[in-house]
Every structure is written in structure tokens, then in C-alpha cells.
Amino acid sequence: MKLLLSSVFCLLFFTSFSQELAVLKYKGGGDWYSNPTALPNLITFCNNNIHTKIESVPQNVEVGSTDIFQFPMLHMTGHGNVFFSEDDAENLRNYLISGGFLHIDDNYGMQPYITVELKKVFPDKELVELPSSHPIFNIAYNFPNGLPKIHEHDGKRPQAFGIFHEDRLVLLFTYESDLGDGWEDESVHNDPPEVREKALKMGANIVKYAFEN
């Protein structure tokens, strides 16, 4: 209980005064560190276009550490296995219900693992698909059709799923879109400028929503 109260205070303090992002480091062998240029590029775009003041080099934080409470938004990605211990799940749940926000971007192959692990975090909640009318799709840039398609992968339609706590969206899971690849340096995937722009604008929407809600 003391740890929870300390964590809640820490989160409220930092979300009041800071606009920072961190990459979530998790267990299981998945490449949590993939897309190394993605967040720095997204941060630059946000600072230049939606008037944020985010530090240009995001930190890496472990899911089970109280360090996550220093950041109003966490970003998680990868291609493979994810594992949360009971302590990891409890820490992440406390972070999210205390006002934090987690964006999970499936970099291809993450979906079957993360959906299982999220049941440890919220056993009584389900991922629900967000309608295109949700504010996250128009808070800064308008996406009338919802989540944009950045990379083809299996050719499925892009989907944005969320978990809500007391009517607040606390977790966003983007699937079959691969926004992070679109945020990377142009030379990494050779995406055309219009595709990268869509990815960055959707990323800016996510950041703005996380900071303001």
C-alpha cells in the first residue's frame, strides 16, 4: 500500500510538470529495443508541430520499476515474446489506473503474446476496438478512417484497440499498422514521405491525447 501511494504521488507530480516519453523494457525475449530511431523522430515532429517540449532522447524503463511513474506516457514495441511477472503486472496496472498511458505498437508478431500478458494486468478487462470517431483520431490531425496503414505485413486492415479504466483510455494497442516503422529514419524502410507523414501525424495524436487526458 505504501508503495502504491508513493507511486501515485510520483505520477501526479511528474505528469503535472513534465512532458516526457519512455520506452518500456520487458522480459520474455522480445526485441523491446527495436526501432531505435522511431521515438526520437516522433519527439522532434511533436516538438515542431504540436508545441510539446519533450526531451529528444527517450529513456528506457523496466516494466517492474517505479521509474515508470516518472513518465505520463510509455511506448512499447517488438516482434516477439512478452512476459510480465505478477509484480510487473501489478506495477503496470497501478501506473495506468493512476493516470499513466501506454501505447503498444505491434512491430509484427507481438499480438499473440501481448494479449495474453495484458490479462495479467487487467484480468477483468478486454481490448476493445476503437471507432474512427474516437478523439485520438482527430485531436491534432484528422484520420476519418481511423488508424492508418503504414506497412502491409499480412495485408490485414489496421486496428486500434484500447483498454479503459473509469471511462479513460489508459492503453492503446495498434495492430497491423506498424506506426513505429513509419517513425524511423527514412533510410531504414525507404517509406515514401507521405507514408512517414501519416505515421508521424498519428503518433502526434497519440502523444497529445496521452498528455491531455
Phi, psi for residue 165 in degrees, rounded to 5: -130, 120
Looking at residue 18, its pLDDT comes to 66
The rounded distance, in Å, linking the Cα atoms of 44 and 37 is: 11
Looking at residue 156, its pLDDT comes to 85
Looking at residue 189, its pLDDT comes to 67
Looking at residue 141, its pLDDT comes to 98
Looking at residue 3, its pLDDT comes to 47
Q: Are 54 and 21 in contact (CB under 8 A)?
A: yes
Looking at residue 75, its pLDDT comes to 97
Looking at residue 132, its pLDDT comes to 97
Looking at residue 85, its pLDDT comes to 97
pTM over 0.75: yes
Beta bridge partners of 21: 73
Please give the DSSP secondary-structure letter assigned to residue 83. B
**Strand ranges in 116-158 using DSSP code E only, listed in sequence order:** 128-129
Low-confidence ranges of the chain (pLDDT < 70): 1-18, 153, 189
Looking at residue 191, its pLDDT comes to 80
What structural domains and CATH numbers belong to the chain? Answer: 2-212 (3.40.50.12140)
Q: Are 86 and 120 in contact (CB under 8 A)?
A: yes
The rounded distance, in Å, linking the Cα atoms of 106 and 13 is: 30
Contacts of 51 (CB under 8 A, 6+ apart): none
Looking at residue 19, its pLDDT comes to 82
CA 123 to chain centre: 20
